[in-house]
């Protein structure tokens, strides 16, 4: 992983408007001049943006626009694929996560991630699944009693507790797809990450399950920073405070969701939102 | 009043041709099905014949004494193969202690680092080793263990069996680990699992039922091996559990009793063969159950 520490004057950080009714906003993650490659393919090109604390930021754009790759750079998952690399700066609470001394594994403990398809661990029951991340917390690892409380809290935050409280010992693969996805969200929340990354979390779910996940995302922003990649423009409009539109690896336009959807400034954003491509 | 529609000559020819091809397809279907069912039955025939034969000739010598007593000298009736049974268990134990960890480790490496040069080399060599005649494995054990140490031993026999197990276990482990979806690896990594921990605690555990099946099949295979033991464990007429001494084994005893000129020994050999095949059968059934447990765990979604 090469970390380029030279400042990049070529990419201006887009000016950011205040989300409606927002109290003073703090930047949780600052991305500056981020480039990402898969081998020779330049998937993310010079993206700079701020992710605000306790806000839901949506990343939208057509397939292959680099939005998932961008998301995976925020917890250093991108580099786990062979041939993948990234340069630029990603500052989590002011600290460079691409600094040479930073262990990517520890970054992922602060920045949780949920994927397109639910990924419960099939050998673990529901309780063990939620507690899976706690087992690797090293010296911050909670005791057994604490774990029990954390599991309950995480399942409540993921709006799944009432559905599974009587069968915490049952296999997680017996849950429905939507329940499995909320279980994965609970699993990510259990380790109390500062940021939660959602990579098309409802793409494989039915409409009712999707709605539950959306409601959950809407609730979560009271507590943490959420970044959601989605194909679904209506979903971005419903759940997010800030929307960023990506095209061909570049950030075309970002701003308060309402403004982006009602008065896009870039003609390409408008074309996408009105369904002219993508 | 409706007019009768008479088929044209072309339509009649078409219908005739269609009927003919349907008849042809049906005939081909029946022929192939018959042939394949016969082949399927023939595949099970050797096992059935062997089992019947063993039960007919060996069952009469099977008694409690067979499992608890030592071989008697020629001319005395009775006696058992307690030393051979114990010896086979010890040899299989040593073999598993060597073959399972090395095989599982090698298989996990080959699956998780599939594209690395080392994995490609290991995979190829494991296939070669798998095809190695077992007598060669015996000579190998003799050359590197028996000769330097100066005597035959249970230890060298166990190592020879373990070396036979490694490629079998490695290949099944690799195949099973590869069936674990990559999304599970990503999920574990995203939770802050280090890569080694992901491999051991998530991937290997998810594949464990299949690996257990492969391990049991490999154990069943080596339990009946004779050739690797000829120059290593050597066989022993007496009771011995020492790893440094030659040790008896059921396959070796079957071999030496079968080529002897005494009828009592012949029937003991039949009985020993029956016990050995029963052991393999039990292990195979256990393997089946482990596979079924894995299939059961995959429900849902």
Sign of the dihedral through C-alpha B119, B121, B124, B129: negative
Chain pair A-B, CB pairs under 8 angstroms: 74
Which residues of B, range 185-244, sit inside 8 Å of A by Cβ?
A: 186-194, 197, 201-202, 205-206, 208
pLDDT of residue A143: 87
Nearest to B194 among A105, A115, A121 (CB): A105
3-state secondary structure A199-257: ECCCCCCCHHHHHHHHHHHHHHCCCCEEEEECCCHHHHHHHCCEEEEEECCEEEEEEEH
**With contacts defined as CB-CB under 8 Å, which chain A residues touch B206?**
121-123
Residue B148 scores a pLDDT above 50: yes
To the nearest 5 percent, what fractions of chain A are helix, strand and coil? 35, 25, 40
The span from the CA of A202 to the CA of A186, in Å, is 15
Contact A76, A51 (CB under 8 A): no
* A105/B192 touch (CB, cutoff 8 Å), yes or no: yes
Residue A134's Cβ-side half-sphere holds a number of Cα atoms within 13 Å equal to: 22
pLDDT of residue B293: 67
pLDDT of residue A59: 95
Nearest to B299 among A119, A173, A188 (CB): A173
List phi, psi (to 5°) of A18: -85, 135
What residues does A89 pair with on adjacent strands? A32
Residue B117 forms contact with A (CB below 8 Å) = no
* Mean pLDDT of chain A, nearest integer: 87
- In degrees, rounded to 5, the angle at the alpha carbon of residue B177 between the alpha carbons of residues B171 and B179 is 110
Determine if residue B50 is left, alpha or beta; phi over 0 gives left, psi from -120 to 50 gives alpha, anything else beta. Answer: alpha
- Kindly indicate the confidence band of residue B3, based on its pLDDT and cuts at 50, 70 and 90: low
At what angle are helices B82-112 and B250-258 packed, to 10 degrees?
A: 130
- Picking from A164-168, A273-277, B114-118, which range would have the lowest pLDDT averaged per residue? A273-277
Q: What percent of chain B has pLDDT over 70?
A: 96
pLDDT of residue A13: 34
For chain A, strand residue ranges (E) read 27-38, 41-52, 56-60, 84-92, 95-96, 111-114, 195-199, 225-229, 242-247, 250-256
Contact B237, B249 (CB under 8 A): no
How confident is the model over A241-257, as a mean pLDDT?
A: 94
- Kindly indicate the confidence band of residue A18, based on its pLDDT and cuts at 50, 70 and 90: very low
DSSP conformational letter for B101: H
- Kindly indicate the confidence band of residue B158, based on its pLDDT and cuts at 50, 70 and 90: very high
Q: Please report the domains of chain A, with CATH numbers, ordered by start residue.
A: 27-117+193-273 (3.40.50.300)
Residue B86 scores a pLDDT above 80: yes
pLDDT of residue A142: 87
Residue A250 scores a pLDDT above 90: yes
Give pLDDT tens digits for B218-258: 999 999 898 999 888 888 888 888 888 889 899 998 999 89
* A105/B193 touch (CB, cutoff 8 Å), yes or no: yes
Chain A residue nearest residue B191, CA to CA: A133
**With contacts defined as CB-CB under 8 Å, which chain B residues touch A154?**
none
Task: Return the closest-CA partner of residue A89 out of A36, A131, A53, A42.
Answer: A36
Q: Chain A interface residues facing chain B, Cβ-Cβ under 8 Å? A: 75, 77, 80, 82, 105-106, 108-109, 112-113, 115, 117, 119, 121-123, 132-133, 135-137, 171, 173-175, 177, 180, 184, 187-188, 191
- Picking from A19-23, A120-124, B36-40, B196-200, which range would have the lowest pLDDT averaged per residue? A19-23
How confident is the model over B13-41, as a mean pLDDT?
A: 92
Residue with token string 């098309």? A200
Nearest to A109 among B192, B197, B300 (CB): B192
Residue A34 scores a pLDDT above 90: yes
What interface predicted TM-score (ipTM) does this complex get?
Answer: 0.86
CATH, range B84-297: 1.10.3720.10
The two tokens of residue B214 are: 């492969």
- pTM assigned to the model: 0.79
- Kindly indicate the confidence band of residue B19, based on its pLDDT and cuts at 50, 70 and 90: confident
Residue B128 scores a pLDDT above 50: yes
Give pLDDT tens digits for A41-61: 999 999 999 999 999 999 999
Q: What percent of chain A has pLDDT over 70?
A: 91
Contact A257, A240 (CB under 8 A): yes
Interface test with A, best of B187, B196, B297 (most A CBs within 10 A): B187
């Amino acid at each position: 992983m090469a970390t380029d520490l030279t400042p990049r004057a070529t990419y201006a950080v887009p000016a950011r408007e205040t989300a409606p009714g927002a109290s003073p906003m703090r930047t949780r993650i600052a991305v500056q001049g981020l480039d990402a490659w898969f081998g020779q393919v330049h998937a993310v090109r010079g993206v700079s943006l701020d992710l605000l604390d306790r806000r839901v930021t949506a990343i939208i754009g057509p397939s292959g626009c680099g939005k998932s790759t961008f998301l995976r750079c925020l917890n250093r998952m991108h580099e786990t694929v062979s041939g993948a690399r990234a340069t630029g700066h990603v500052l989590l609470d002011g600290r460079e996560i691409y600094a040479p001394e930073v262990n990517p594994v520890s970054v992922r403990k602060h920045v949780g991630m949920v994927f397109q398809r639910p990924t419960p661990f099939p050998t673990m029951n529901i309780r063990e699944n939620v507690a899976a991340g706690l087992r690797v917390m090293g010296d911050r690892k909670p005791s057994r009693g604490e774990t029990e409380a954390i599991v309950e809290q995480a399942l409540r935050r993921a709006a799944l507790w009432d559905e599974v409280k009587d069968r915490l010992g049952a296999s997680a693969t017996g849950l429905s797809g939507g329940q499995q996805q909320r279980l994965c969200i609970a699993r990510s929340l259990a380790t109390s990450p500062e940021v939660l990354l959602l990579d098309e979390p409802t793409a494989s779910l039915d409409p009712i399950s999707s709605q539950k996940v959306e409601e959950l995302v809407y609730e979560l922003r009271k507590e943490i920073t959420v970044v959601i990649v989605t194909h679904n423009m209506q979903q971005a409009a419903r759940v997010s405070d800030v929307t960023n539109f990506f095209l061909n690896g570049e950030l075309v336009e970002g701003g308060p969701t309402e403004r982006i959807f009602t008065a896009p400034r870039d003609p390409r954003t408008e074309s996408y939102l009105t369904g002219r491509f993508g | 009043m409706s007019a009768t529609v008479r088929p044209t000559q072309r339509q009649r020819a078409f219908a005739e041709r269609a009927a003919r091809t349907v008849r042809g397809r049906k005939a081909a279907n029946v022929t192939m099905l018959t042939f394949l069912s016969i082949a399927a039955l023939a595949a099970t025939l050797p096992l059935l014949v062997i089992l019947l034969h063993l039960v007919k000739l060996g069952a009469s010598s099977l008694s409690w004494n067979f499992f608890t007593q030592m071989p008697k000298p020629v001319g005395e009736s009775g006696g058992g193969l307690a030393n051979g049974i114990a010896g086979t268990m010890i040899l299989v134990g040593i073999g598993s202690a060597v073959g399972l960890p090395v095989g599982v480790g090698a298989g996990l490496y080959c699956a998780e680092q599939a594209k690395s040069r080392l994995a490609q080399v290991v995979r190829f060599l494991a296939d070669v080793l798998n095809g190695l005649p077992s007598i060669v494995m015996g000579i190998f054990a003799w050359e590197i263990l028996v000769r330097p140490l100066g005597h035959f031993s249970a230890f060298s026999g166990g190592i020879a069996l373990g070396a036979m197990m490694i490629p079998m276990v490695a290949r099944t482990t690799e195949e099973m680990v590869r069936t674990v979806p990559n999304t599970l690896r990503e999920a574990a990594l995203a939770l802050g699992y280090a890569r080694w921990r992901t491999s051991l605690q998530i991937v290997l555990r998810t594949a464990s039922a299949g690996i257990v099946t492969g391990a049991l099949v490999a154990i069943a295979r080596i339990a009946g091996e004779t050739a690797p033991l000829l120059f290593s464990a050597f066989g022993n007429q007496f009771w011995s559990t020492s790893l440094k001494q030659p040790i008896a084994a059921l396959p070796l005893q079957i071999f030496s009793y079968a080529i002897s000129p005494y009828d009592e020994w012949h029937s003991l050999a039949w009985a020993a063969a029956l016990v050995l095949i029963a052991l393999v059968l039990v292990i195979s059934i256990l393997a089946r159950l482990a596979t079924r447990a894995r299939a059961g765990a995959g429900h849902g979604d």
